[in-house]
């Protein structure tokens, strides 16, 4: 048996969670496509580059800046997307503090030397949550035309010709989050919503919200998936089945043959309609994080649990760590190159995780019941 206190090796929860996979989790999950596709898409390669540019250098500041982007027009999409994410960050943090009933988020605002900055909010040692982070990143600057050109695989309709060696202005904005509760009956939750564009005309939205329980409560899963199906159906009836399947395929621990959790929605490279329509969809998805997740936590935060149930939670936290460290391409890149900021990259990991040799749930147990769902994802609504 091996039990590892992750916080002892990768301490820190301060400073920026940069724009990963667009913005996703250089601290929460990088929202890169690790699902069943033969090779990483060109778009992922662009987002990996952006992620590292966002994490290399920043200067902490005492207070959150009023606007992180450089746009002067308050009605432009970039400015409005930042404002929408900041409202979402406030809303989520407020709801989590109220649910926890004690702990408060600490705020670390920072500016990036190359342009932009971020606001990282971290809660630790709470009554309900061992670890929670909600991280905003808004960055801009230039990137090589060759990197942008690689993205023309699916973005050609929006791009102009580029010259070799030319540097292209880009903008990337995202909000990412991960929450690890103490009680084994309370699920972990992750979300990420982001937008990227270049002056060459390339642009796309990406995001999603997913849930990782360690014990099954079918009503909870019907509630969580039902909230997001309702949001999806309002904007496009094709969204939920497509994005639910995408989440099931993305959050797979391939060497285990099981999913990290019980899914949710996940989408990337979304630019097939008017950008303001996708903006509205992203905003409504973010607005529904609290109604989809917090009622589940309120329902279970005072549940009693045994030492064996806590042990099972720590084993599943080990799976969470495996996914992020082995299959999260942005994390791998940051660790191998040493370019990424370790506190930001490791933020998504739980404080404590556990591994046991050749562990198998007891036949007929609640642990085996949910394990079958990790092996074979099902529909909930």
For residue 338, pLDDT beyond 70:
no
The active-site residue out of 58, 190, 223, 300 is 190
Q: How far apart are CA 158 and CA 160, in angstroms?
A: 7
At residue 274 the predicted structure's pLDDT band, cuts being 50, 70 and 90, is very high
Q: Got the DSSP string for 271-303?
A: -SS-HHHHHHHHHHHHHTHHHHHHHHHHHHTT-
State how far the Cα of 46 lies from the Cα of 152, in Å rounded to an integer.
10
Q: CATH fold of 65-375, please?
A: oxygen-dependent coproporphyrinogen oxidase (3.40.1500)
Nearest C-alpha neighbor of 193 from the set 328, 289, 306, 312? 289
Asked which of 19-28, 71-80, 100-109 is least confident by mean pLDDT, the reply is 19-28
Question: Is 185 annotated in the active site?
Answer: no
**pTM for this prediction:** 0.84
pLDDT-above-70 percentage for the chain? 76
Average pLDDT of the residues in 302-313: 98
Rounded to a whole number, what is the distance in angstroms from the first to the last CA of the chain? 38
User: Is residue 8 packed enough to be buried (19+ CB in 10 Å), middle (13-18) or exposed (0-12)?
Assistant: exposed
According to the model, what pLDDT value does residue 57 have? 54
Average pLDDT over residues 72-84: 94
* pLDDT number for residue 241: 98
pLDDT in tens, 217-228: 999 999 999 999
Give how far Cα 152 sits from Cα of 148, 200, 205, 381, Å. 7, 11, 15, 36
pLDDT in tens, 286-296: 999 999 999 99
Question: Rounded to whole angstroms, what are the CA distances from 92 to 85, 98, 208, 224, 368?
Answer: 10, 10, 15, 16, 33
- The whole-chain average pLDDT of the chain stands at 82
**What pLDDT is recorded for position 146?**
75
Residue 18 near residue 137, CB atoms below 8 Å: yes
pLDDT at 239: 98
Residue length of the chain: 381
């Amino acid at each position: 048996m091996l039990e590892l206190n992750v916080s002892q090796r990768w301490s820190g929860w301060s400073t920026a969670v940069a724009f990963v996979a667009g913005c996703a989790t250089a601290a929460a999950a990088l929202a890169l496509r690790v699902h069943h596709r033969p090779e990483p898409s060109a778009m992922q390669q662009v987002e990996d580059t952006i992620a590292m540019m966002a994490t290399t250098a920043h200067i902490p500041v005492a207070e959150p800046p009023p606007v992180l982007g450089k746009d002067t027009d308050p009605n432009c999409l970039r400015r409005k997307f930042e404002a929408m994410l900041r409202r979402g960050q406030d809303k989520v943090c407020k709801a989590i503090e109220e649910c926890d009933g004690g702990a408060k988020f600490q705020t670390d605002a920072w500016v990036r030397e190359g342009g932009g900055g971020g606001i990282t909010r971290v809660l630790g040692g709470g009554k309900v949550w061992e670890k929670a982070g909600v991280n905003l990143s808004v960055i801009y600057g230039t990137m090589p035309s060759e990197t942008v050109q690689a993205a023309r695989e699916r973005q050609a309709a929006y791009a102009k010709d580029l010259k070799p060696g030319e540097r292209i202005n880009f903008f990337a904005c995202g909000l990412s989050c991960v929450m690890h509760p103490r009680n084994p009956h309370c699920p972990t939750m992750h979300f990420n919503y982001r937008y990227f564009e270049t002056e060459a005309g390339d642009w796309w939205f990406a995001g999603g919200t997913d849930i990782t329980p360690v014990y099954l409560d079918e009503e909870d899963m019907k509630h969580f998936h039902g909230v997001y199906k309702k949001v999806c159906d309002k904007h496009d009836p094709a969204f939920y089945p497509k994005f639910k399947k995408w989440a099931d395929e993305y959050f797979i621990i391939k060497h285990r043959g099981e999913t990290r959790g019980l899914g949710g929605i996940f989408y990337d490279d979304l630019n097939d309609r008017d950008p303001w329509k996708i903006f509205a969809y992203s905003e409504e998805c973010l607005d529904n994080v609290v109604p989809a997740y917090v009622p589940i936590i309120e329902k279970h935060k005072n549940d009693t649990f045994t030492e064996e149930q806590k042990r099972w939670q720590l084993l599943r936290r080990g799976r969470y760590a495996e996914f992020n460290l082995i299959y999260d391409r942005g994390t791998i890149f940051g660790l191998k190159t040493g370019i990424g900021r370790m506190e930001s990259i490791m933020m998504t990991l739980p404080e404590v995780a556990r591994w046991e040799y050749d562990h198998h749930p007891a036949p007929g147990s609640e642990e085996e019941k949910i394990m079958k769902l990790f092996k074979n994802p099902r529909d909930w609504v």
